[in-house]
Amino acid sequence: MVAIKTHLSRLSLPLVLAFYISNPVFAQKDSLRTDPPTSDSVQTVKPNYALLRGIFAAQSALYLGTIYGLSKSWYKNPLTKFTFQDDTREWLQMDKMGHVYTSYQIARHTAELYKKTGISKRQMLVYGAISGIIFQTPIEILDGFSPDYGFSPGDMIANISGSVLYLGQIALWDEVRIQPKFSFHYTSLSKVRPELLGTNRSESWLKDYNGQTYWFSGSPRTFFKNSGWPAWLCLSVGYGIHDMVSAEKETSIERGYHPYRQYYLSLDIDLTKIKTKSKLVRTIGFFANSIKIPAPALQISKKGIDFKPFYF
């Protein structure tokens, strides 16, 4: 039987954080905001090619190190011939949401990093957008050669979608208006199948899809510029699942569970829109803006509408 894939444990927040922790030029940034980059027509700063080469070198080192580490630790069996695996029905598509989120975050962070080099807006956007795809594509290829997995077209489409979500907004609006975010709460289901959903808390937040929620947050102010709505206050729409103790819905049902989808409506805060003169606060806000803040939420599912006074 094909082994269950848990891509989020390899790709999501840890990968984004590792990218910056490992990047020696990150400390040189004096601002981390989601403001659109300076347009080509007004760019007067000559590109810092030394810094640009440093970023390329750091990315390449992290990129190759990640691939090598995965090839040695994640893939237990020797790689064989290339195969395809259609897993689009698994986990009620929650794993695909993880791929979209990860690709978007890599594109967002990378583009902001390249902004410091003084390259053109077009170049910055291209480098950022393709980084999310390039960083994940070799992992999909390794899956294709693995007897336990197989290349997933659905994963690849999700990877591309995340980068396009970032690039498309900048191209259309010259700013990011809709931001993918992530939240997690622990569930008792990980105790049912710890080998699949996590043997401890540090594994469960990566592997237990039942506790994950993916959000799309945006402030109405970005669409209605003259409204009195605060620019930092966002409406957020979320998606989650429940009672999935197997990748397949049918298998979960056979085990006595009743899988279903959950949709959420909540408030959120765009931390990059909070005005401050502190570079440290802006930096923290930029990183933390990938996480949905805890807040009251409406949960909509086949069981009806439920109000959550505090949901994360």
Q: What is the pLDDT of residues 220-267, one digit of tens each?
A: 999 999 999 999 999 999 999 999 999 999 999 999 999 999 999 999
Pull the structure tokens for residue 180. 């993918």
5 has a pLDDT exceeding 70: no
CA nearest to 216, candidates 241, 179, 182: 179
CA nearest to 40, candidates 107, 98, 121, 95: 121
Residues 6+ apart with CB under 8 A from 146: 75, 77, 79, 80
In this structure, what DSSP letter does residue 49 have? H
168 has a pLDDT exceeding 80: yes
Residue 37, CA distances (Å) to 41, 115, 209, 286 in order: 11, 7, 35, 15
Pull the structure tokens for residue 201. 């808390």
Residue identified by tokens 């290829």 is 141
Is the pLDDT higher at 82 or at 2? 82
Range from 91-100, 127-136, 225-234, 244-253 carrying the lowest mean pLDDT:
127-136
Decide: pTM greater than 0.85: no
Give the pLDDT score at 44.
55
Residue identified by tokens 């802006």 is 282
What is the average pLDDT across 171-183? Answer: 94
Residues 6+ apart with CB under 8 A from 139: 7, 10, 11, 67, 70
Question: 71-80, 213-222, 280-289 — which one is most confidently predicted on average?
Answer: 213-222
How far apart are the C-alpha atoms of 270 and 236, rounded to whole Å?
A: 11
SS3 content of the chain, % helix, strand, coil (to 5): 50, 15, 35
How many degrees, rounded to 5, is the angle at CA 290 between CA 296 and CA 215?
50
Question: In the beta sheet, which residues pair with residue 212?
Answer: 184
Q: Are 266 and 298 in contact (CB under 8 A)?
A: yes
pLDDT band with cut points at 50, 70 and 90 for residue 45: low
End-to-end C-alpha distance for the chain, whole angstroms: 34
Pull the structure tokens for residue 105. 């975050």
Give the pLDDT score at 189.
95
Residue identified by tokens 């990378």 is 110
31 has a pLDDT exceeding 90: no
What is the average pLDDT across 47-62? Answer: 84
Is the pLDDT higher at 133 or at 179? 179
- The rounded percent of the chain whose pLDDT value lies above 90 is 54
What is the average pLDDT across 45-54? Answer: 82
How far apart are the C-alpha atoms of 260 and 240, rounded to whole Å?
A: 9
Q: How many CB atoms lie within 10 A of CB 279?
A: 12
Give the pLDDT score at 206.
87
CA nearest to 5, candidates 183, 165, 146: 146
How far apart are the C-alpha atoms of 113 and 146, rounded to whole Å?
A: 34
